[in-house]
């Protein structure tokens, strides 16, 4: 009987499904609800030491719908990190762990380019009882003027330094959340893992402009007649996320064996999750999917993932983690393999012997002549 129980970086989870940092983990009420509904872990909305500079606007979401208007396939947000005080979050972290001791609670943190700030936020969250950290180096639109989020995560040198600060003081597993808004996602990944992080998370949202209202001629989402570049998510980003997860997993396999990867990007079904695990994910994060379908969606996804595992004879997540990585190669190698296969088929069609088992006594002379070079 297959099981979804898994242990990643010492974190014991009832299943690999984790609430991704964002609105679904925005306060103690919703986090406790997530654990009640069966999520393996929750990453709280990103916190910083000073929330006073965080001011959200509305509307702050925009949806891309299918041509019939019935399905949301893309979702843009211009939402910032948590606007709630850090002291309040520390109280809520303690409350969550007191009431949900078996739930894996991960603090998402983001700070300015100052060692004292990073060390303080890590040490104080650690004292509040969280189980692990996710370092937000990937928010594509929030607070770049303070060198936070993707503004930091796009610079491997800064990333190395900050991850080093964190790992000096953290006694807990540390994941660095990667931005997809780079040319080669392997570069920041290598920086984070070289600096001691136990794992990485990928991908965060992709910089985007959702669209322009052709009646008002204003871009969306429209706030006071204006907008700003946002982060794109939902099922439309899944192919891009799968590619980047694959690239990170190949790097981990080659240079950082044993490090972990929390994969995300458009996950809405157990089948989606299976694909990310097949490409190297240890856990699978869901954020926009919860906003579309609600917290109980995890129950359906667990059922679907178990059905997949049972159909293939997999007993545990580790049985198929990274299984499909072996089937990536270069285009030149694809050409070579296809040319070789066609040549063999042509020989077989012509009746030319390829191996000893194909010799036939009745056609022995013809087969011998076919193999002659002159």
Is 1 among the domain residues?
no
DSSP state of 47: B
The rounded distance, in Å, linking the Cα atoms of 306 and 313 is 10
Clarify whether residues 315 and 335 are in a common domain. Answer: no
The rounded distance, in Å, linking the Cα atoms of 312 and 326 is 17
| Confidence at residue 366, expressed as pLDDT on a 0 to 100 scale | 80
The predicted model scores a pTM of 0.94
The rounded distance, in Å, linking the Cα atoms of 205 and 81 is 13
Clarify whether residues 213 and 349 are in a common domain. Answer: no
Confidence of residue 346 (pLDDT cuts 50, 70, 90): confident
Residue 257: pLDDT above 80?
yes
Residue 358: pLDDT above 90?
no
Clarify whether residues 288 and 350 are in a common domain. Answer: no
Clarify whether residues 304 and 347 are in a common domain. Answer: no
The rounded distance, in Å, linking the Cα atoms of 15 and 298 is 9
Residue 143: pLDDT above 80?
no
For residue 344, what are the domain limits? 331-370
Confidence of residue 193 (pLDDT cuts 50, 70, 90): very high
What is the CATH number for 39?
3.20.20.70
Q: How far is CA 178 from CA 138, 152, 296, in A?
A: 6, 10, 27
Residue 43's DSSP bridge partners are 106
Is 160 among the domain residues?
yes
Are 279 and 322 in contact by the 8 Å Cβ rule? The answer is: yes
| Confidence at residue 152, expressed as pLDDT on a 0 to 100 scale | 86
Q: How many domains does the chain have?
A: 2
Clarify whether residues 270 and 351 are in a common domain. Answer: no
Clarify whether residues 68 and 189 are in a common domain. Answer: yes
Q: What is the pLDDT of residues 225-255, one digit of tens each?
A: 999 999 999 999 999 999 999 999 999 999 9
Active site residues: 139
Clarify whether residues 44 and 168 are in a common domain. Answer: yes
User: First CA to last CA across the chain, in angstroms?
Assistant: 62
In sequence order, the 6+-apart residues with CB closer than 8 A to the CB of 288 are 22, 75, 233, 234, 266
Clarify whether residues 170 and 198 are in a common domain. Answer: yes
DSSP string, 145-212: GGT-THHHHT-HHHHHHHHHHHHHH--S-EEEEPPS-SS-THHHHHHHHHTT-SEEEE--PEEE--EE
Q: How big is the CA angle at 210 (ends 206 and 215), to the nearest 5 degrees?
A: 170
| Confidence at residue 283, expressed as pLDDT on a 0 to 100 scale | 98
How would you classify residue 232: left for phi > 0, otherwise alpha for psi between -120 and 50, otherwise beta?
Answer: beta
Is 220 among the domain residues?
yes
């Amino acid at each position: 009987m297959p099981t979804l129980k898994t242990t990643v970086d010492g974190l014991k989870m009832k299943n690999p499904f984790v609430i991704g940092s964002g609105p679904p983990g925005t306060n103690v009420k919703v986090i406790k609800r997530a654990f009640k509904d069966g999520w393996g872990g929750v990453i709280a909305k990103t916190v910083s030491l000073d929330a006073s500079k965080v001011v959200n606007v509305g509307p702050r979401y925009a949806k891309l719908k299918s041509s019939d208007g019935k399905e949301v396939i893309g979702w843009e947000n211009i939402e910032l990190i948590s606007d709630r005080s850090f002291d309040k979050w520390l109280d809520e972290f303690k409350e969550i762990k007191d009431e949900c001791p078996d739930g894996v609670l991960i603090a998402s943190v983001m700070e300015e380019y100052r060692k004292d700030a990073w060390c303080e936020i890590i040490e104080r969250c650690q004292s509040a009882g969280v189980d692990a950290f996710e370092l937000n180096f990937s928010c594509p639109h929030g607070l770049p003027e303070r060198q936070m989020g993707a503004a930091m995560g796009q610079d491997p040198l800064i990333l190395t330094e900050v991850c080093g600060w964190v790992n000096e003081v953290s006694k807990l597993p540390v994941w660095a959340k990667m931005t997809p808004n780079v040319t080669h996602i392997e570069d920041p990944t290598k920086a984070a893992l070289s600096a001691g992080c136990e794992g990485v998370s990928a991908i965060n949202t992709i910089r985007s402009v959702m669209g322009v209202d052709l009646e008002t001629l204003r871009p969306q989402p429209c706030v006071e007649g204006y907008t700003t570049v946002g982060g794109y998510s939902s099922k439309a980003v899944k192919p891009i996320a799968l590619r980047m997860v694959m690239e990170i997993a190949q790097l981990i396999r080659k240079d950082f064996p044993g490090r972990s990867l929390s994969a995300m990007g458009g996950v809405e079904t157990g089948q989606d999750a299976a694909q990310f695990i097949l490409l190297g994910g240890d856990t699978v994060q869901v954020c926009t999917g919860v906003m579309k379908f609600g917290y109980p969606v995890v129950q359906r996804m667990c059922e679907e993932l178990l059905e997949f595992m049972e159909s293939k004879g997999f007993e545990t997540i580790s049985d198929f983690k990274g299984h499909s990585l072996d089937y990536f190669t270069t285009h030149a190698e694809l050409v070579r393999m296809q040319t070789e296969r066609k040549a063999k088929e042509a020989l077989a069609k012509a009746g030319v012997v390829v191996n000893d088992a194909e010799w036939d006594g009745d056609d022995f002379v013809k087969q011998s002549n076919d193999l002659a070079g002159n």
